[in-house]
Amino acid sequence: MVNVEELGDRLKKLLVRLSNLQEDRQLSSLIQIIQDLLFLAHTDCAAELFEDQDVQTPLMLVLSSYMGSRGVQQVGWSLLCRLVEICPSTLEELTRPLGAAKDWEVLGVHQQILKVLAQYSADCKVTMVGLRALALLLTSDKLLQCVLDEEEEDVFGLVVLGMKTFPTSEEVQLQGCSALQLLLERVSEDHLVDFMENQDHAVVLTALQTFQDSPELLLQAMRVLLPLASPALYFSSTLQKVQRCRRFNAAEGSTLQKVQRCRRFNAAEGSTLQKVQRCRRFNAAEGSTLQKVQRCRRFNAAEGSTLQKVSSTLQKVRGGSKGHTK
């Protein structure tokens, strides 16, 4: 028979060691502490042992401080999942601000889980544990809203990415569907339409086809697809497509009109330019002709003056000849 009192004393010692963070602590010893806590959390008397024990605060501090350690993240989030399962008050405690030490930076639990899913998207084990933790956290209305309001990370994108990256992992698909169900039940119809038009629901269909022998996964996948199959959503999706088509056609029509006006303007400009060029050539020719006329006039004027002088001279000569003859 398990001695509950001895296990309780062991739990208290482990919590003291977990709470005393040291920057130079070996990762192996830290991981061992968390694994020992995880072992106690799976005993038959786990609910009694962990009742009224503040495990989540030092645990979240460790998870935030050792974000770069895959091992710490894997066992740490596994422990948190187990705490949520055996101690329902854990979720409520996680929504409160964490009393962190001054030398350690601590994120909110909703921010930490999204950061883990983003940072370890290529690691199957961490992704599996992360999606499981996310699905459990989303059962809290407050944490669900915090996740949806988070701007730095797109929770839908992270869940879908995990399911796409590990399509043959049944646990990843199951936990991903669990998270998607809770998220899709909360968002607006517009978000549901975007989810479908982005083809994100395709990962759920793939999971249905891949794991046809898993009743639990099939049921969870159908729960995800159920809100996406409503007639109202189909009508909303169709209406949005029609509206986008109309805006596209309106934009295309406007563009076509602009092109036509531009062509007419260019044609008119080309015609005007030709007229200007012909006018310039005409003016140049006219100018040349005018110069010739002016030179001719000056020449004629000069010629006339010379002719008058010759006539005058001839008259004088004739007058002199007549006088001499007399």
Q: Which of 183, 198, 229 is the last residue of a domain?
A: 183
Residues 175 and 309 in one domain: no
Q: What percent of the chain has pLDDT over 90?
A: 53
pTM above 0.85, yes or no: no
Residues 261 and 173 in one domain: no
* CATH code: domain of residue 153: 1.25.10
The verdict on residue 176 lying in a domain is yes
Cβ neighbors of 211 (< 8 A, separation 6 or more) are 170, 173, 217, 218
Residues 170 and 47 in one domain: yes
The verdict on residue 268 lying in a domain is yes
Residues 159 and 289 in one domain: no
Indicate the pLDDT class of residue 152, thresholds 50, 70 and 90.
confident
Residues 99 and 178 in one domain: yes
Per the CB < 8 A criterion, the answer to whether 115 and 107 are in contact is: yes
| pLDDT recorded at residue 5 | 87
Residues 17 and 146 in one domain: yes
**One-letter amino acid of 217:** L
Higher pLDDT, 323 or 36: 36
| pLDDT recorded at residue 236 | 47
The verdict on residue 73 lying in a domain is yes
Q: Which of 155, 183, 211 is the last residue of a domain?
A: 183
A 10 A CB-CB count for 159 gives: 26
| pLDDT recorded at residue 270 | 60
Residues 20 and 160 in one domain: yes
Per the CB < 8 A criterion, the answer to whether 97 and 45 are in contact is: no
The verdict on residue 202 lying in a domain is no
Q: What percent of the chain has pLDDT over 70?
A: 67
Residues 166 and 268 in one domain: no
The verdict on residue 312 lying in a domain is yes
Looking at the chain, how many residues does it have?
326
**DSSP-derived secondary structure for 218-250:** HHHHHHHHGGGG-HHHHHHHHHHHHHHHHHHHH
Domain count, the chain: 2
The verdict on residue 322 lying in a domain is no
Residues 156 and 39 in one domain: yes
User: Quick check: 295 pLDDT over 80?
Assistant: no
The verdict on residue 254 lying in a domain is yes
Residues 280 and 170 in one domain: no
User: Quick check: 167 pLDDT over 80?
Assistant: yes
Q: Tell me which range, 52-56, 104-108, 231-235, 302-306, is most confidently predicted by mean pLDDT.
A: 52-56
The verdict on residue 143 lying in a domain is yes
User: Quick check: 210 pLDDT over 90?
Assistant: yes
| pLDDT recorded at residue 249 | 57
Give the domain extent around 243. Answer: 239-316
| pLDDT recorded at residue 285 | 62
Higher pLDDT, 233 or 192: 192
Residues 126 and 266 in one domain: no
| pLDDT recorded at residue 264 | 72
